[in-house]
Amino acid sequence: MCGRTACTLGPDELCKACSTQIVTSDGKKQYQAPQWQDHPGNYSYTPSCNMAPSRFTPVMISEHHVRGTKRAIEGEGLSPQYVIHPMMWGLIPPYYKGSSRTGHGYSTTNCRYEGIEEKKTYKPSLTKGQRCVVLCDGFYEWQTTKGDKNKQPYFIHAPQPEGVEIWNRESWDKPDVWSEEEGWKGPHLLKMAGLFSSWLSTEGEKVMSYSVLTMESGKKFSSLHHRIPAILETNQEVEDWLDFGRIGYKEALVILKNEVEVEWHPVSKTVNNSRNQEPNMNAPVSLDKKPPETASSKLMSAWLSKGTVKKESPSITPIKKETVVSNEKEEKPFSFKNWLKKECDNSASNK
C-alpha cells in the first residue's frame, strides 16, 4: 500500500521536473514544462516531507481534461500537453452525497489493481479516462524488523542522477538546474499511476480527488512489503497512461507492472506521526542500536575525559616470608583434662 509520501518541490519546480522535449514549429528541439493549475476554492498545495491522506498534493493530467476535449485538434501539434493540478489524496466516491469531502467513510487512499474494473468507486473514473500521474519525491513504507514490535519506516524513491540526493536540497538546488536547452537536472520524481474524480458537494463545493493504484509486489520489493504502487518509469509510460483518447483503459491497465527500479533507505520514526512536519524526515538514518550522539552528550564526554585523573596503584614491595624461631617453649593449648589431672596429683602429694 501507499499511505504516506514526501513532496517537497514548489509548483514551479514540479513543472520543470516534469518537462519533456518537444520539437517546435521551426524544427528546434527544446524542453517544455507543463502548466500549473490551482484547485478551485481555498484548497492549495503546501510542500511537505510527510504527506498524509486528505492533503492536497500535485498530480499530472492530460490538458484535454481541462479543455474538455478528448483528442488533440488536428494541426495543433503532436507533443502531449499536461497540466499539474493539486488534488485531495483519497478519491471521493462518485455516488457519495454529502456536504463534507471526507465524510463518506471509505478508505480510498489506494485502489487495488486486482478487480478494479468491478469496483463502483473506481469504474466511472476508468471509463471516463480520468487517469492521472501522482507526483512525489517518494513514499514511505513500514517493515516489521526481527525481534522488534515497532515498525521501521523506509523511504522509497526513484534512482537519482549522480551527486543528487533527493532529501538534500543543497545537492541539486543550483541556478542552472533547469533550462529549455537541457531540461531538468534536479532530482527525479517518483511517478505513480492513479485515478481521479471531480465531486460536487450538496453545498455546491467542487473537489478534485485521486487514488493511487497498487499491485502485488515484484520479487525485489517484496522483501520490504507485499504491495507496491503502480510506478511509471519512462516518459512513454507516462504518456500512454495519460493519453485516454489514444489508449483505452483496458490497454492502459496492461501497461502497469510491479517490477520496477526503486531504491530505499531507513528513516527516522518521527515520520510515523503525520502531524510531524520537520524537514528532511526522508533522509537516511542508521539502524545501529547505539543512540545518536547529541551536542550535549558530546560536551559531557569531553568534560569527563578532561576532568578525570587516572589513579595509579601504589608500588608495593612483596615481603619475604621467613620462619621465626622462638627461644621459649611453645605454650600448649589449655586442656581441662590435663588441668584436672594436675590438681589431683598435687592433692595426693600433700597428704
pLDDT in tens, 191-218: 999 999 999 999 999 999 999 999 999 9
Catalytic residue among 7, 111, 141, 239: 141
Give the model's confidence band at 319: pLDDT under 50 very low, under 70 low, under 90 confident, else very high.
Answer: very low
Is the confidence at residue 247, as pLDDT, over 70? yes
What's the confidence (pLDDT) of residue 80?
A: 79
Give the model's confidence band at 253: pLDDT under 50 very low, under 70 low, under 90 confident, else very high.
Answer: very high
Is the confidence at residue 273, as pLDDT, over 70? yes
Is the confidence at residue 236, as pLDDT, over 70? yes
What's the confidence (pLDDT) of residue 306?
A: 58
The arithmetic mean of pLDDT across residues 239-244, rounded, is: 96
Nearest by Cα to 96 from 198, 196, 193: 198
Q: Are strands 35-36 and 82-89 parallel, antiparallel or unpaired?
A: parallel
Q: Identify the residue whose cell numbers are 560536551.
A: 299
The arithmetic mean of pLDDT across residues 322-339, rounded, is: 47
Report d(CA 198, CA 302) in Å as an integer: 61
Let me know: does 199 contact 214? Beta carbons within 8 Å: no
180 belongs to the catalytic site: no
Report d(CA 25, CA 347) in Å as an integer: 149
Neighbours of 157 (CB within 10 A): 22
Neighbours of 237 (CB within 10 A): 20
SS3 string of the chain?
A: CCCCEEECCCHHHHHHHCCEEEECCCCCEEEECCEECCCCCCCCCCCEEEECCCCEEEEEEEHHHHHCCCCCCCCCCCCCCEEEEEEEECCCCCCCCCCCCCCCCCCCCEEECCCHHHCCCCHHHHHCCCEEEEEECEEEEEEECCCCCCEEEEEEECCCCCCCCCCCHHHCCCCCCEECCCEECCCCCEEEEEEEEEEECCCCCEEEEEEEEEEECCCCHHHCCCEEECECCCHHHHHHHHCCCCCCHHHHHHHCCCCCCCEEEECCHHHHCCCCCCCCCCCCCCCCCCCCCCHHHHHHHHHHHHHCCCCCCCCCCCCCCCCCCCCCCCCCCCCHHHHHHHHHHHHHHHC
The arithmetic mean of pLDDT across residues 261-275, rounded, is: 96
What's the confidence (pLDDT) of residue 316?
A: 42
What's the confidence (pLDDT) of residue 70?
A: 64
The arithmetic mean of pLDDT across residues 238-260, rounded, is: 96
What's the confidence (pLDDT) of residue 75?
A: 38
The rounded radius of gyration (Å) of the Cα atoms in the chain is 38
What's the confidence (pLDDT) of residue 343?
A: 57
Highest averaged pLDDT of the listed ranges 150-154, 156-160, 219-223: 156-160
The arithmetic mean of pLDDT across residues 53-76, rounded, is: 79
Highest averaged pLDDT of the listed ranges 63-72, 136-145, 327-336: 136-145
What's the confidence (pLDDT) of residue 320?
A: 43
Nearest by Cα to 244 from 80, 17, 33: 80
pLDDT in tens, 110-127: 999 999 999 999 999 999
On average, the pLDDT of the chain sits at 85
> What global pTM score does this model have?
0.80
Give the model's confidence band at 292: pLDDT under 50 very low, under 70 low, under 90 confident, else very high.
Answer: low
The arithmetic mean of pLDDT across residues 138-149, rounded, is: 80
The arithmetic mean of pLDDT across residues 324-339, rounded, is: 48
Let me know: does 135 contact 18? Beta carbons within 8 Å: yes
Question: What cell does 15 get?
Answer: 513543472
What's the confidence (pLDDT) of residue 337?
A: 54
Q: Identify the residue whose cell numbers are 455516488.
A: 95
Report d(CA 47, CA 37) in Å as an integer: 16
Highest averaged pLDDT of the listed ranges 65-74, 78-87, 262-271: 262-271
What's the confidence (pLDDT) of residue 121?
A: 96
Share of the chain above pLDDT 90, in %: 72
pLDDT in tens, 9-53: 999 999 999 999 998 888 899 999 999 999 999 899 999 999 999
141 belongs to the catalytic site: yes
Q: Which residues pair with 132 in a beta bridge?
A: 194
Let me know: does 231 contact 190? Beta carbons within 8 Å: yes
Catalytic residue among 2, 18, 49, 111: 2
Q: What is the CATH number of domain 5-72+85-287?
A: 3.90.1680.10
Question: What cell does 21 get?
Answer: 522535449
The arithmetic mean of pLDDT across residues 282-295, rounded, is: 77
What's the confidence (pLDDT) of residue 318?
A: 45
Report d(CA 246, CA 249) in Å as an integer: 10
